[in-house]
Amino acid sequence: METVRGKLIKRIKRTSIVESFRFILDKKIDFIPGQFLQIIFDKDNYENKKLNKYLSFSSSPTKKYIEVTKKLTESSFSQKLKDLKTEDSVLIKAPLGNCIFNDEYIKIGFLIGGIGITPVISIMEYIVDKRLNTDAVLLYSNRTRKDIAFKKELDYWQTICKNIKVIYTITDSESKEGGYIFGRINKDLVSDKLKDYHQRIFFIFGPPHMVEAMKNICIEIGCRRENIKTEIFIGY
């Protein structure tokens, strides 16, 4: 784990309230898809939990830049991110986290809601860039179709990588468009869409209640506990 300086090179709107920030680092950091980092705005007090927060990598280690993605709120940390301009720099401590992808995984699944998608993007992009044969199925739940972050990228990866499949679920209102399932992720949906679930490694990222609910689904349908990988987003 190292502390390096990152210079902002690009901001990307993912939804009305979700934005990505790309940085070029002054020193390369080797990380594994699924890991996260800490952005440090208060360099005089590393223990400042309001201004120094953890965010997942939302880019593959194959890229020359690193990217993080955040649902922007009214918090002090979000305001600092909102104020960043191109060429501004921040301190970054990385890599962190053990909920990671392994190149040797044959089949994986993701049970994800909302902003939990960020580390999934790192993993998916890595699979695509490395042209791995990993069979990956993503169940991705959002309130409305407008809340789906990275949809353009996910749809594109499905067209160029036959072993990637994305299933979108919408919870607030039934979409009139095709391509969406109305309702929450539940054990019936998982069992139906991932019939070979007992062969898959499952990744679950997100806030505590979401992670616990998805983990319980995996256990209820008979997944082996050692095949369930979780990362809880706290104070996000």
Domain ranges of the chain: 2-96, 107-232
Exposure on the CB side of residue 204, measured as CA atoms within 13 A: 24
**107-232, which class in CATH?**
alpha beta
* pLDDT per residue as tens digits for the range 59-115: 999 999 999 999 999 999 999 999 999 999 999 999 999 999 999 999 999 999 999
Q: Out of 2.40.30.10, 3.40.50.10310, 3.40.50.2300, 3.10.129.10, which CATH number does the structure's domain 2-96 have? A: 2.40.30.10
Please check whether the two domains, 2-96 and 107-232, share a CATH topology.
no
pLDDT at res. 235: 62
pTM (two decimals)? 0.95
pLDDT at res. 6: 97
DSSP line for the chain: -EEEEEEEEEEEE-SSSEEEEEEEESS-----TT-EEEEES-TT-TT-TTTEEEEEB-S-TTSSSEEEEEE--SSHHHHHHHH--TT-EEEEEEEE-S----TT-SEEEEEEEGGGGHHHHHHHHHHHHHT---EEEEEEEESSGGG-TTHHHHHHHHHH-TTEEEEEEE-SS--SSSSEEES---HHHHHHH-TTGGGPEEEEEESHHHHHHHHHHHHHTT--GGGEEEEE----
| Mean pLDDT for the stretch of residues 158-186 | 89
pLDDT over 60 at 169, yes or no: yes
